[in-house]
Structure 1
Amino acid sequence: MARALVAGIYDAESHWRDEKLALLPAVRDKERERIVMAMDELMFPFCGSGDGLLTRFAMEDAHKAYLTSLGFSFEHLVWKEPEAAPNLFEAMASDPQRDEQYGAFDILSPFSVVPYTHEVIAKYEYETELPAIDKVKRVNSKIYSTQLTCKLLGKSFGQPVYSAEKLLILGHSLLAEHGPFLIKDPFGVSGKGNMLLKSQPSLERVASYIRKQEGEGKGTAFVIEPFMEVECDFSCQFNIMRNGSFHLLGLQKMLNKQFAYLGSESMEEEECRELERAGYFDVMIQAANALFKDGYFGPVCIDSMVLKDGTLVPIVEINARKSMGFINQRLDETLQTNGKKGFFTYGSVGFGERFDYEWWLDELKKHDILYPNRKGNGIFPLSSATLFAGVPGPGKSSSASGNLFKGRLYMTIIADHLQERERYLEQMRFSFESKGGKWYS
């Protein structure tokens, strides 16, 4: 059986984005960027026995042992350079040496296709066929999804704008007719690259910011759409096979707050049947056919929503890559063997100094929080590197100013009902804060 090297980049959008295009106002968060780089460890559910997982940062030995105890067996490889590479595939392709630990695998299984992915495949002679990078970039743009929605459904809430002047004209019209509206970067991601504009002064400030960049030679490309009251966010995960056939994987209900992703869980069967009766899957198949016709094949996650007035919006955004929904789908496939399913989420945390991860797992187990507890439920920690990504090194403590190191703990919560889920989260928060940490969300 072919052995896969699983590797990838979670902020693929930043590598697809044309640097010659204007940006929306934003504050750079270097700690967040480092945490996102560490998220490659979350790909372990895509590994089978004999596969390898390549990450930028080392995983805690206790965490790997815990995953093994739950049946997740894989070879773990860590990028050899001391500095994490923003584009791991570029670093691999540019390395003058051919690393035989990577060459021992038969195929490359990337989270997404980014620049230099094909070069790595060629260098290590992997038996992997992927769509061309220009096709991948095109279908992942929000401009593409806006235009495809209009083509398939005859209308779209969003519309592209290609200049600061056009943004002003259309923005004024939206404010007058609908009130607040969103402006989206074509390659913006959860919590970044989206702005909600509620007034003409805010619109004029953003237009002025973009106009200044145009004066410096930048191009303009954004999508604007009226702000809509959402009842339910969800996503559809499927694969477009190499022959163009459609392979549905599942649906995930999503929890979002202020445009930022907070968590997801597999959709109930009755909810899926309601969508089928509404013709939702017909639209997904049409979208898949269009993507294939435009040169893309592979994993796709389409974000969708139901508005408070009951309107179904089948296509909000197209993510032609794997996603958090794909990860939760794979986790639930494992949990289903015990008749369980989980809620995939994360906690943002802060702490003054690095702590013993193994000791903390033991603490969670002792207090019956760690999955599987006596009920077969509990919290399943999915990451350790994202927790410690912001810590400079062993023995280092927080700065003299008292600022805490930032971290993020991804987890799946297995519970029989919402109250039990919330109780586990509260116990987790208490456990973390009782040791001097800070649980932000």
Structure 2
Amino acid sequence: MTTAPTDRPAPPRVLFGSFDAERSWEARGGRSALPSLAPGPAAAALAGADELLLQLCGPRDLLLTGRPMVPELLADLRSHAALGAVATVPGDPAVPVEERLAAGAGAGLGASAHTPLPYAVLPVTPAAVAGLGGTAAVPEPAAVLAVNAKTWANAFCAAHGVEGAARTAGSAEELEREVGRLGYPVVLKSAHGVAGRGSMVVTDALRLGAVLRYQRARAADRGEPLLVQRLYQRAADFSAHFDLAPDGSMGEVAFRGMTNTGLSFAGSDTLDERVEARLRADDGYLRVLAALGAELGAAGYWGPVCVDGLIATDGTLVPVLDVNARLSMGRIALALDAAAPTRLTRLSFAAVRCSGEPRDSYLTIRRMLAEAGLAVTGDRGHGVRVLTAATLRAPVGRCYYVVQADTTEQVAESERRLRELLAQLPSAS
């Protein structure tokens, strides 16, 4: 069921939370049955990414951050949209915000009457909400953990006959058998993982042999089962976004395009209007989303939902590749769309060398953009905006940015020029 829009003002919200929820879920859900191919981003960079949540804050909302925001960044962001208030949670910046709130550090931040909207519900989140002095509920962490597992989404696909359902392998022998049935290439997925962590493309017996040896060496500590899925040749990646209310009602669906590097998320883009038109005209696809929303609600989840899907080069629609029962980069990008409704937008990030304090790096990047004529200003509606500063921590940080332009070619050119500038940043001595 889809709820109708309402003119009633929404209650004020308080936003906060860790952008690396999957690491917590993976630790509780069971050890990955896949070897790690690449390290994830530095914890400090992800901790500072909570500044991105300001894009979701309306004028009456409150954002709680782990570190004080750079004043120049805050002023720059507010020059483009009417954003909410910001407060820093007291305590050790190395301690996650949720844990500080649970220990009572947020009691004086004035959020007791706000509706909580965490980036993701973690085991500590109910205590964090209670620490704010509020009485609003959040979903049970156990339910959130369950529905964010790739095995849950796959069970939904299998039960509903949805294209893309994977096979399950709980041992090295089962894995070898299922890969043999599907044939190369295949994608192997562990139950939890994000941005390519916990997923691997297997194209031949050599790569499969490495995984089998890894599993057999750890037979006594096997962890969660693997999913074995056909590798689709992608023509378009996309994400569908909606909200589930506690009563199970489902809000309107919005779409974003995605850019992936291999299996890793690389950016959220304005979706090609032809792809969006196809999705909105496909009654079968919309029924899948409605059924998915109903089952998420039945499992005890409510809140923001992001459902990744793809269209293959042969035209096959894969409606549910992944279910993210949390906020997402795509949801933040939708808010950026609203701030620049006549532009195409691309939300992405880049690893950058940093020196000095984050404020130093932010001001340097801001100056470089202005000198290159790339900065979005009141008179110039296309170009680049940097969205975070706390992530610019030495020696290697992350620069989160949005590109605004009139055409996809202009988006690509502005991003190319931005990355050339970022490569010129001085490194820490």
Query: Under a length normalisation based on structure 2, what TM-score does the superposition of the two structures give?
Result: 0.89
**Correspondence for 1:274:** 278
1:296-307 alignment runs, 5 A limit? 296-307=301-312
Which runs of 5 or more residues in structure 1 are unaligned?
392-404
**Correspondence for 2:14:** 5
* Aligned counterpart for 1:185 among listed residues 190, 201, 209: 190
Structure 1 pair 116–153 and aligned structure 2 pair: CA distance change class (3 A): same
**SS at structure 1 position matched to 2:42:** helix
User: Could you tell me how far 1:165 is from its partner in structure 2?
Assistant: 2.4
**Correspondence for 1:152:** 160
Is 2:242 aligned against 1:232? no
User: Could you tell me how far 1:303 is from its partner in structure 2?
Assistant: 0.5
Which amino acid letter does the alignment assign opposite residue 299 of structure 2? D
Structure 1 pair 213–370 and aligned structure 2 pair: CA distance change class (3 A): same
Which range moved further: 228-237 or 428-437?
428-437
* Aligned counterpart for 1:261 among listed residues 265, 270, 285: 265
**Correspondence for 1:49:** 59
Structure 1 pair 376–220 and aligned structure 2 pair: CA distance change class (3 A): closer
In 2, Cα distance between equivalents of 1:50 and 1:123: 21
User: Could you tell me how far 1:302 is from its partner in structure 2?
Assistant: 0.5
**Correspondence for 1:204:** 209
Q: Any conservation in 1 of the 2:186–2:201 contact (CA below 8 Å)? A: yes
Is 2:112 aligned against 1:122? no
In 1, Cα distance between equivalents of 2:172 and 2:356: 46
1:19-418 alignment runs, 5 A limit? 20-26=30-36, 29=39, 32-85=42-95, 87-93=96-102, 95=103, 99-101=107-109, 103=111, 105-153=113-161, 156-174=164-182, 178-215=183-220, 217-279=221-283, 280-336=285-341, 339-351=342-354, 353-354=356-357, 355=360, 357-372=362-377, 374-388=379-393, 391=394, 405-418=395-408
Q: Percent identity?
A: 25
Aligned length: 415
Query: Under a length normalisation based on structure 1, what TM-score does the superposition of the two structures give?
Result: 0.86
In 1, Cα distance between equivalents of 2:130 and 2:326: 21
Structure 1 pair 102–115 and aligned structure 2 pair: CA distance change class (3 A): farther
Which runs of 5 or more residues in structure 2 are unaligned?
1-9
**SS at structure 2 position matched to 1:376:** coil
User: Could you tell me how far 1:102 is from its partner in structure 2?
Assistant: 5.4
In 1, Cα distance between equivalents of 2:40 and 2:210: 25
Which amino acid letter does the alignment assign opposite residue 350 of structure 1? R
User: Could you tell me how far 1:75 is from its partner in structure 2?
Assistant: 2.5
Runs of 4 or more off by more than 6 Å in structure 1? none
Which amino acid letter does the alignment assign opposite residue 329 of structure 2? M
Q: Any conservation in 1 of the 2:80–2:339 contact (CA below 8 Å)? A: no
User: Could you tell me how far 1:131 is from its partner in structure 2?
Assistant: 1.8
User: Could you tell me how far 1:80 is from its partner in structure 2?
Assistant: 2.6
Which amino acid letter does the alignment assign opposite residue 264 of structure 1? S
Deviations 1:316-355 (A, max 9, x none): 111111111100111111222xx33411122222245553
Which amino acid letter does the alignment assign opposite residue 16 of structure 1? W
In 2, Cα distance between equivalents of 1:20 and 1:433: 38
User: Could you tell me how far 1:15 is from its partner in structure 2?
Assistant: 1.4
Structure 1 pair 356–16 and aligned structure 2 pair: CA distance change class (3 A): closer
**SS at structure 1 position matched to 2:192:** strand
Q: Any conservation in 2 of the 1:250–1:266 contact (CA below 8 Å)? A: no
In 2, Cα distance between equivalents of 1:22 and 1:326: 27
Q: Any conservation in 2 of the 1:106–1:127 contact (CA below 8 Å)? A: no
Q: Any conservation in 2 of the 1:44–1:72 contact (CA below 8 Å)? A: no
